[in-house]
Amino acid sequence: MRDLKPDTSVYALDRSLDPKTGSIRYEVTFPNAGQILRPGQFGNVRFVADMKKGAMVIPQEAVTELQGSYQVAVVGGDNRVEIRTVKVGDRTGALWVIEDGLKAGESVVVEGLQRVQPGAAVNPKPYATTK
């Protein structure tokens, strides 16, 4: 998929949401250099509807759901684990926005959650994404 240039603009927007796909139909105008799209062709477009600057995000693997509430295992300064309830926001790729329940700089357990118990001592290592 190609990135649209800043000179792209919305031409028409359908007010109804397609309940089957969760999508809204809209038309945009943009320069068609090299005639990438021909008359009658179409393309799928994704755009950012909301931007949260400074949002706290953690890997989705660090979040567990238990009876409708979301929890993370937080590693304290003494390398002991505390299970904490958090309020989650939107998912962004492989990350989940955390709206409440964590403070900036806190470490969370991402791998080995099945073996973690509250108060357990852990040997934390930096998490490296492989995606």
- Residue ranges of the chain with pLDDT lower than 50? 1
Please tell me the pTM assigned to this model.
0.61
Domain count, the chain: 2
pLDDT for res 10: 67
Same domain, 66 and 35: no
Which domain, by its residues, includes 17?
A: 1-47
- Residue 65 is part of a domain; what is its CATH number? 2.40.420.20
Q: Which amino acid is at 24?
A: I
pLDDT at site 1 = 41
Q: Are strands 56-59 and 23-29 parallel, antiparallel or unpaired?
A: unpaired
Whole-angstrom Cα distance, residue 102 to residue 1?
A: 35
DSSP class of 2: P
- Do 43 and 77 lie in one domain? The reply is no
> Which tens digits make up the pLDDT trace of 35-46?
888 888 877 766
- Cα distances (Å, whole numbers) of residue 79 to 63, 71, 109, 115: 19, 18, 11, 15
Count CA atoms closer than 13 A to 10's CA, side-chain side: 9
Secondary structure letter of residue 115 according to DSSP: G
Of residues 5, 113, 10, 123, the one with CA closest to residue 66: 113
